[in-house]
Amino acid sequence: MTLPHFPARAPRVAVVGAGPIGCATAAALATRGHHVSMWSPTGARLTIDPSPSSEGDGHAVRTSTARFTCTGALDTTIRVDWLADATRLCDADIVVVCLPGNAYADVLTALAPHWRTGQQVIISGALSLVSLWIADEAARRGVSLQVTAWGTTLTTAYFRPDGLLHLNRWRDRIDLATTGGRPHDALATCERLFGERFVASDSLLAPTLANINPIAHAAEVIPNLSRMERGESWPLFGCFNRAVARLADRLDAERLAVAQAFGLSLPTLQQHYQKSYGVPFGPLEDMAQAIHEGGMGPDGPASLSHRYVIEDAPFGLAFQEALGRLANVPTPTLSSALTIFDAVYETDWRRRNFLPDALGLAADTPASLQARCRQDPPRR
């Protein structure tokens, strides 16, 4: 397998985003011996330690260190370089973007001027074909990027009340696809950075539809919206009973039907939970209980303003609905979930996602969208 054309030195990797997933990704890179830096608009969860100025390229460069402590899959304190200025992302050979969908418009638009030709950009848990949009926007600026989309994240993670970052086990399978470069380069890059856990597809639609968060989160929060509004403490998987499982099963069936219409065969939600959490395969409610009893499930959202809705409704559910409409696949349960969220939040979540319009999705046919999203498959 041909490796990417890295410079003679070790590649410089930057992580964009300092939430639980961004920090987990930086921790994975650091513990595997890679040189990693981080940038985020806030970094509010981290301890930033300033370092003395050093000389670089003939002028003083002030560097800082971001510090956070992990528990769970890793039990260590992580220290990585902290980039105070987004312009320094252009120094990285590889940029791993770990952002919620509702941050795409503001943050990625601001970063667009800082991409440079030859960089590899990886989108962790990519939603709504954002990788295609990034590549298109870069091309309009005369910049050639290889943009790789992951169908999910390296792990699930959350910050505990005491500030520790709890990491669950690393996922064994992550679907990926790429645009703007050779597919086997993207696969080799991800394996070099994070190990052999990736399954490559020749279509960007695969990781988009492989992301189970939107349908899983909708099933989990719809029966618990009053708990969220009251700010109650409740266990996410501990409340995943048979009623939630029935809703999740219906939503998952519609996701898989949309994928099948585009020629994709993807893992079920049950298979995803089995791989992600290492619990025995079975009915969803039994798997959820095993996740809960194993201490791997976070608390449920204690606010209506939570990414399980404000990210996943527009950038997950609404986009899957749009793909279903394009492929003439009915998605009644998914559409009903969106209607419920619209009513509860008094918000049109479909209009909160800028990507369908930015990508010109309404002008596509299933065949033309497949052509835009397809790359030659990687060869081993």
Quick one: average pLDDT of 281-288?
96
**pLDDT tens for each residue of 145-154:** 999 999 889 9
Per-residue model confidence as pLDDT tens digits over 88-123:
999 999 999 999 999 999 999 999 999 999 999 999
To the nearest whole percent, how much of the chain has pLDDT over 70? 93
Does the pLDDT of residue 159 top 50, yes or no? Answer: yes
Q: Tell me whether residue 380 is in a domain.
A: no
Which conformational region is residue 306 in: left (phi greater than 0), alpha (psi within -120 to 50 degrees), or beta? beta
* Same domain flag for 151 and 215: no
Of 13-17, 253-257, 359-363, give the lowest mean pLDDT range: 359-363
Q: Are residues 64 and 189 in the same domain?
A: yes
My answer on whether 172 and 30 are in the same domain is: yes
Q: What does the pLDDT read at residue 45?
A: 78
Q: Which residue has the tokens 């979540």?
A: 349
pLDDT at residue 63 above 90? Answer: no
The verdict on residue 314 lying in a domain is yes
Whether residues 218 and 200 share a domain: the answer is: no
- 149 and 81 belong to one structural domain: yes
Does residue 136 share a domain with residue 223? no
CATH number at residue 361: 1.10.1040.10
- Number of folded domains in the chain? 2
- Do residue 39 and residue 146 come from a single domain? yes
- The pLDDT score that the predictor gives to residue 202 is 87
Predicted pLDDT at 2? 32
Contact between 135 and 120 under an 8 Å Cβ cutoff? The reply is: no
Of 346, 311, 353, nearest to 214 by C-alpha is 311
3-class secondary structure for 70-82? Answer: EEECCCEEEEEEE
Final residue in a domain of this structure, among 174, 204, 234: 204
Residues 263 and 322 placed together within one structural domain of the fold: yes
Is 2 within the bounds of a domain?
Answer: no
Which SS3 state, helix, strand or coil, does residue 280 take?
A: coil
Asked which of 156, 177, 204 is the last residue of a domain, the reply is 204
Tokens found for residue 197: 């856990």
pLDDT computed for residue 52 by the predictor? 56
- Beta-carbon contacts of residue 285 (< 8 Å; ≥ 6 apart): 240, 241, 242, 244, 245
Average pLDDT over residues 278-292: 95
Helices (H) and strands (E) counted in the chain, each on its own, are 16, 12
Same-domain status, 104 and 127: yes
Residue 17 lies in a domain: yes
Query: Measuring CA to CA, how many Å separate 241 from each of 16, 83, 201, 235, 247?
Result: 36, 44, 34, 11, 10
pLDDT at 297: 85
Task: Say how far residue 99 (Cα) sits from the centre of its chain.
Answer: 7
Among 183, 204, 225, identify where a domain stops. Answer: 204
Tell me how far apart the alpha carbons of residues 150 and 76 are, in angstroms, rounded to a whole number: 26
Let me know whether 234 and 158 are in one domain.
no
Mean pLDDT of the chain: 90
Q: How confident is the model at residue 51 (pLDDT cuts 50, 70, 90)?
A: low
pLDDT of res. 5: 44
Highest mean pLDDT among 25-29, 158-162, 209-213, 263-267: 25-29
Q: What is the spatial distance between Cα 352 and Cα 127, in angstroms, rounded to a whole number?
A: 13
- Rounded Cα distance, 309 and 126, in Å: 16
Whole-structure pTM value = 0.85
**Length of the chain in residues, anyone?**
380
How far apart are the C-alpha atoms of 153 and 123, rounded to whole Å? 9
Residue 79 forms part of a structural domain: yes
Residue 39: the pLDDT is 96
Shared domain check, 170 and 260: no
In a domain, 308, yes or no: yes
Which residue range(s) make up the domain with 215?
Answer: 210-373
Residue 10 binned pLDDT confidence (cut-offs 50, 70, 90): confident
Q: Residue 49's pLDDT is what? A: 85
Q: Is residue 216 part of a domain?
A: yes
pLDDT, tens digit (0-9, with 9 covering 90-100), for 291-343: 999 988 889 999 999 999 999 999 999 999 999 999 999 999 999 999 999 99
Rounded mean pLDDT of 129-147? 93
Res. 181: pLDDT tops 80: no
Instruction: Tell me the average pLDDT across 194-207.
Output: 91
Euclidean distance between CA atoms 180 and 20, whole angstroms: 29
Q: Assess whether 124 and 68 both reside in one domain.
A: yes
